[in-house]
Amino acid sequence: MCGIAGIISSDIDLRGEKPLVEKISDTLKMRGPDAKGEYITADTALIHRRLSVIDVERGAQPMSFGKYVIVYNGELYNTDEVRDELKSFGYTFETHCDTEVVLKAYDKWKEDSVKKLNGIFAYAVYDKKEKSLFAVRDRIGVKPLFYSQKKSLFAFASRIKSLLCIPQIRSVVGEDGLNEIFMLGPSKTMGNAIFKDIKELEPAHYLTYKNGRLDIKQYWCLTAQENNETVKEATEHTYALVKDSIERQLVSDVPLSAFLSGGLDSSIISKIAADKYAEKGKVFDTYSVDYTDNDKYFKKSLFQPNKDSDYIGMMSDYIGSNHHNVILDNVAVADALEQATDARGVPGFADIDSSLLLFCKEVKKDFTVCLSGECADEIFGGYPWYHRKEILFEDCFPWSRSTDVRRSILSPGFLPKGEEYARNAYEQTLKQTSYLDGESNLDRRMREMFILNLNWFMQTLLVRKDVMSMESSLEVRVPFCDYRLVEYAYNMPWSIKALDGREKGIVRKAFENDLPYEIAWRKKSPYPKTHNPAYFKRVCELAQAVFYDRSTPLYDWLDRTAVEILMKNPDSLTEPWYGQLMRTPQVISYIYQIYVWIKKYKVEFEL
């Protein structure tokens, strides 16, 4: 993986802006610590920072071919197939890296080339002759790309921070941005980057920029199609697709490992990877994360019914992996909230972010690439809200069913249209759902839930995984995000997807012979969070600054009494702020992250 950025301007000679180019490059250093490169002309600057994974010696960027120059961030999983097709048209290759394949695919098929690619990516191709730019994101949105257009200037980057280096782009936030933070966060509307001057290129979209004109088009979407497979056929199909996706993502010229929680998804990935390594006489490495004394304070809940630690050893022994259990210090997890916020560029996912950041830093000590199980729950119905009818048919976001808890911590009158904003976001998402005629109410709702989860909940997790891993200079691949698997799951009847009435029932059935029974049929449990009161104590200490520092408007936006009640009682929230993991300690963490963000990014507000 890498970090990319670029500027196109008709009234600034970019050859004289070397300090600016260096400054932007420095913001991308953690995404690409191994090498850097620039392509600079009077009106164009392309910037690349490289984390070397494939063809370490010859894959330098920016890479040129004919009139095109590319800066590329990502991994292509059908490189060989696309390369072979290009060879049939007479193309030759000097490297075995995917960057060269993507560049020459664009030379051959232009915008349509992206439809041939299976992978996780964000890249930009500059046409030196036409002085035009083409930029694109992968279908699911695993890799980020932000952009800004200010009069005669157009810029793009992998990070928000990189764009804010440019003087013309200001760190201004309006009412819509605050509604995103307080009424929807840590989720955000796709395309919205919180800052007024910055937008996010949405997944499955590409943009073209020429002569001051910006055009954006969608190149892929989910469409409803008939699926008449039997249970046996669906089981075999699911197994084949998942296995193929995982095996494709094991290609690497540097050390590779996997996250292993003892849950279904990570166990499937680790099992298939371990088998492939065993074929070569190698032992596969796996990693898990926990917190100091977490077992002592663990409490069962609907969303977290059992501890990962009960299952990790079982699975590691079963596949014979070289397992590493990373134990995080609770105070360190709280202190890392600041770096996690700085890395995201916006308020984030509380300690769900900061713990992953520290975890990835430990993994990076020995590995450069890691596999993880994101997306399986969203596309195969793994969350409780798919299965509890009283939640399923509620006309709202299932992970944030009410804005009441959000409103309760705000000063009276602040963000008066917040509820309306959140409601509109929900309704606009439903409009993106594709149905089949004659489908039952249940099947229609399951399609809506699929889109809601794919476009919101999963995007939050993917941003978290990309930002925290790349801040650690670790590449994390997500096999369940293979678009072929997403398309297939979207059209799988719910009765098969939830086989035997279980979350991810079809996946369990497909892999029950590859895993211990206790793992294959274990009840869903989310990413482990800390239950240790030492974390909550430290977070409350950090959050005191919110009420003693009047230099930020946050002091006036919050209801101090309501927040202090939360700080005195970590069990006071009756339902999570967001999803399965954000309860009182995480809400206080989130408030602190907003404070840190305002200070670090020198945010201005125009309300």
275: Cβ contacts below 8 Å, ≥ 6 apart: 319
- Residue 404: exposed, middle, or buried by beta-carbon count in 10 A (0-12, 13-18, 19+)? exposed
Contact 461, 19 (CB under 8 A): no
Q: Residue 243, Cβ neighbours under 10 Å: how many? A: 18
β-pair type (285-291, 256-259): parallel
User: Residue 245 in 3-state DSSP?
Assistant: helix
| Edge-to-edge strands, sheet with 68-76 | 63-65, 68-76, 119-127, 132-137, 205-210, 213-218
Q: Which of 2, 360, 370, 481 is catalytic?
A: 2
**Cβ-based neighbours of 203, under 8 Å, separated by 6 or more:** 137, 138, 139, 140, 141, 190, 459
**H or E stretch covering 45:** strand 44-50
Here the tokens at position 423 are 């409601």
Helical pair 560-568 and 584-600, crossing angle rounded to 10 deg: 130
Active site residue 360: no
Helices (H), 345-409: 350-364, 376-380, 389-392, 404-408
**Sign of the torsion angle spanned by Cα atoms 430, 431, 435, 439:** positive
Q: How far apart are CA 433 and CA 427, in angstroms?
A: 11
Catalytic annotation, residues: 2
